């Protein structure tokens, strides 16, 4: 039976599964595409809205559990699905003025690390730098015992903090971050812009909070634990400034517009200590980055 597609202006949508569709979904889930992006791609290929959402949910269930329950994948009869759907690449986010896919240059499964190519345009990078120049101040860290923000020698950057949605550009970027990470925008802390001069670095550290330390435990009341970080490179330094993961043996070169994402909350609720990371010293020129920390609950909600 062919159902009416709710997003297709009354036109009939395709409601038939196929091995090609299932393979296409599995491949793109493995590449890190989010559920909304996959549903959007299926709708553009002519699938029924409800069927697309059920198929994507079933595919994610298979990815998590290794097998799809028999009742999870809809039983569909009707038109044969268009062959183009199995070949098209889904749009990862809907940008202002049109859709643009964000390539993933590499993806590690354990720990979960991804490198997005050109998450921001050159113009967006330059605009963020310009917005931050007037409010740069020495970057603090949270004191693990008191919860206060202190200056330490291990972190030598200058930084500027922005509230969520404070500027139209920031709001657009935050929506894009939510699309590519699958974490709702309201779970994000404010965007932080950082500037490192020659010799500037951030020595190895974790971004998540240690609930055993009273100062860090205080942070859990305003959105829960941090679960992931996205570091966006706003320029390409002349030399140095890579993001290093010493327990993985990985260094990510800072390239303007690219962004490295890493998640540190494991399925069992434990925190992944392999996400220890550092901003290596800038040896020539300067480095600009934007950092987005993501929480398990809406940020600044009641604990």
Give the model's pLDDT for residue 60: 84
Mind giving me the DSSP string for the chain? -PPBPTTTTT-B-B----HHHHHHHHHHHHTT--HHHHHHHHHHTTB-HHHHHHHHHHHHHHHHHSS--TTTSPP--SSPPPGGGGTPPPPSEEETTEEE---EEEEETTTEEEEES-SS-HHHHHHHHHHHGGG-EE--EE-TTT--EE--TTB--EEEE--TT-SHHHHHHHHHHHHHH---GGGBPPPEEEEE-TT--EEEE-SS--TTSHHHHGGGGGTS-EEEEEEEESS--SEE--EEETTTTEEE---TT-EEEEE-B-TTS-B-GGG-EEEPPEEES-EEEEEEEEESS-TT---
The confidence score (pLDDT) of residue 196 equals 93
Q: What is the pLDDT of residue 64?
A: 58
**pLDDT at residue 61, rounded to an integer:** 80
Domain ranges in the chain are 19-90, 98-295
Q: Which of the residues in the chain have pLDDT under 70?
A: 1-13, 31-32, 44, 63-99, 138-157, 301-303
pLDDT, position 149:
55
Return the pLDDT at 31: 64
Give the CATH superfamily of 98-295. Answer: q2cbj1_9rhob like domain (2.60.120.620)
On whether the CB atoms of residues 244 and 255 are closer than 8 A, the answer is: no
Say what the pLDDT of residue 212 is: 85
């Amino acid at each position: 039976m062919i159902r009416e597609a709710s997003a297709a202006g009354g036109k009939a949508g395709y409601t038939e599964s196929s091995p090609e569709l299932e393979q296409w979904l599995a491949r793109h889930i493995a590449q890190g595409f989010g559920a909304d992006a996959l549903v959007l791609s299926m709708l553009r290929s002519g699938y029924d809205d409800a069927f697309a959402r059920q198929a994507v949910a079933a595919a994610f269930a298979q990815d998590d559990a290794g097998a799809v329950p028999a009742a999870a994948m809809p039983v569909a009869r009707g038109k044969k699905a268009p062959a183009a759907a199995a070949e098209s690449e889904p749009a990862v986010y809907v940008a202002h003025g049109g859709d643009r896919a964000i390539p993933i240059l590499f993806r590690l499964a354990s720990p979960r690390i991804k490198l997005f190519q050109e998450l921001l345009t050159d113009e967006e990078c330059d605009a963020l730098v310009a917005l931050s120049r007037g409010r740069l101040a020495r970057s603090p860290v949270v004191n693990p015992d008191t919860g206060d923000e202190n200056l330490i020698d291990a972190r030598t950057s200058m930084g500027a903090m922005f509230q969520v949605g404070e500027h139209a550009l920031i709001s657009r970027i935050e929506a894009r971050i939510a699309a590519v990470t699958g974490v709702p925008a309201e779970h994000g802390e404010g965007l932080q812009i950082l500037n490192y001069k020659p010799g500037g670095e951030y020595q190895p550290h974790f971004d998540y909070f240690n609930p055993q330390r009273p100062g860090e435990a205080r942070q859990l009341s305003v959105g829960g634990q941090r679960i992931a970080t996205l570091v966006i490179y706003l320029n390409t330094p002349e030399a140095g400034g890579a993001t290093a993961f010493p327990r993985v043996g990985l260094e990510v070169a800072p390239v303007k517009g690219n962004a490295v994402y890493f998640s540190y909350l494991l399925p069992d609720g434990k925190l992944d200590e392999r996400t220890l990371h550092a901003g290596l010293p800038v040896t020539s020129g300067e480095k600009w980055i934007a950092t987005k920390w993501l929480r398990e609950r809406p940020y600044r909600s009641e604990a």
